[in-house]
Chains A and B, each alone.
Chain A
């Protein structure tokens, strides 16, 4: 049984305040990601790559189908089941960092570990290790990342996403806005996660990165409903 299993997933947006227009954006999506595997979502801009990722994370509601993650059907699960899933089994590195102002970077990165009950010292140690690997200057660790540059925020986001060893991990453009050195660190983190058995679903516009870490590609364009094409 795969860690991530999508079968017949569909999605549409109904714009109630714009004449109730229903826009179908996805139909019959299907894919599997096994443990230790990295699968890339490909397709033209607007094909629905991010939409599908958000559906797997429970951020967008699926209209139909099954989205299994570690045995939980995200398309049907109650909010608290999805919260529990996100706490210990399903990680997500989005393109944007959203944090409370004032919380220091080190705490932002350690938070996922503290939430699963990791001892504080061990959590902070792991956070320091990741921030150091990602070349974030130590003088920034005690500051809130809200004022950091885009690339710095992206690295904080990645450190946070890789802090806990989630069995399933979603990566949305993890190497975007990074220099060559940090890109290499991120790709190594992805390879390490695969080696410990994580199932990874990702969007990588960086073709060389995709070729290096991804085992398969799934073209999301094949899930675009005909009516909308």
Chain B
């Protein structure tokens, strides 16, 4: 065990137990225009099981467009988004409508910046969580309510709020409820669009801690779009920096933030106000 080679072998054996051999998502040259205006250009990367990838950039940098293309909400003009399925990496654009909807209901999940976009505001908290579970075929009422209760607990919403509608919840609670609704089906890949945006700092910290715990426990792969560098520092393993629709830099999160190479990233890091 004293030389580097045997240490490496030891570790490779170890990491085999931690995840399968290939990427979960493979993105190849994704490009999207809105008329003459560029949304995002030629974006490529692989996301591996259990990895959290952050995408940062200012408003209009193309990060939300990219997230839309990756999650199947927007159709890219060029490029492919491949996802690991039964038969290996599969082009998600080539899936039939039924297969794609099944993917969105089960394996994939999307957390919106505004909880109202991800919740049914007229349905109770328990119903919001249970509904997504029913979408995957669950039918037993007691089990669905049990799962809903369990998830409300995991996102720190008191059990006696299960019959309340989300409109009676604070912003932070609504966001936690959206996360419960999203994760109850045990997805493998979660897309998040500014999940802590618009929340008070103290509420953000709680949400970040919660998300980090769930990501590790469930071994989730996550693509998270944000303009908040503190959020990616705490949550993301890898970071992609976008400017004007292009990826200008990517790498290990702490390396990109502590030793930024591109002019724009240097500006971004230097512009953060110290509290």
Docked complex Cα distance between A34 and B7 (Å): 13
- Closest-by-CB residue of B relative to A115 is B216
- Closest-by-CB residue of A relative to B253 is A79
Min CB–CB distance A37 → chain B (angstroms): 10
A100 at interface, CB cutoff 8 A:
yes
A16–B262 touching, CB < 8 Å: yes
Contacts of B7 in A (CB 8 A): 3, 70-71, 89, 167
- Closest-by-CB residue of B relative to A72 is B8
- Closest-by-CB residue of B relative to A80 is B48
**Stretch from A53-61, A187-195, A204-212 that touches the partner:** A53-61
Asked, given contacts A61-B259, A80-B48, A100-B209, whether A17 binds B270 with beta carbons under 8 Å apart, the answer is yes
Contacts of A89 in B (CB 8 A): 7-8, 11
Contacts of A142 in B (CB 8 A): none
A84 at interface, CB cutoff 8 A:
yes
* A contact face: mostly helix, strand, loop, or mixed: loop
- Closest-by-CB residue of B relative to A83 is B237
* B contact face: mostly helix, strand, loop, or mixed: helix
- Closest-by-CB residue of A relative to B267 is A17
Identify B14's interface contact among A54, A68, A79, A116, CB under 8 A.
A116
User: Which chain B residues (240-275) contact chain A, with CB distance < 8 Å?
Assistant: 251-252, 254-255, 258-259, 261-263, 266-267, 270
A24 at interface, CB cutoff 8 A:
no
Contacts of B266 in A (CB 8 A): 15-17
A135 at interface, CB cutoff 8 A:
no
B11–A101 touching, CB < 8 Å: no
21 contacts between A and B (CB under 8 A): A1-B4, A1-B5, A3-B3, A3-B7, A13-B259, A15-B266, A17-B267, A35-B1, A58-B255, A70-B4, A71-B7, A80-B237, A83-B252, A84-B11, A89-B11, A100-B205, A100-B209, A100-B212, A100-B234, A117-B17, A167-B7
- B interface residue numbers (CB < 8 A to A): 1-5, 7-8, 11, 14-15, 17-18, 48, 51, 205-206, 208-209, 212, 216, 233-234, 237-238, 251-252, 254-255, 258-259, 261-263, 266-267, 270
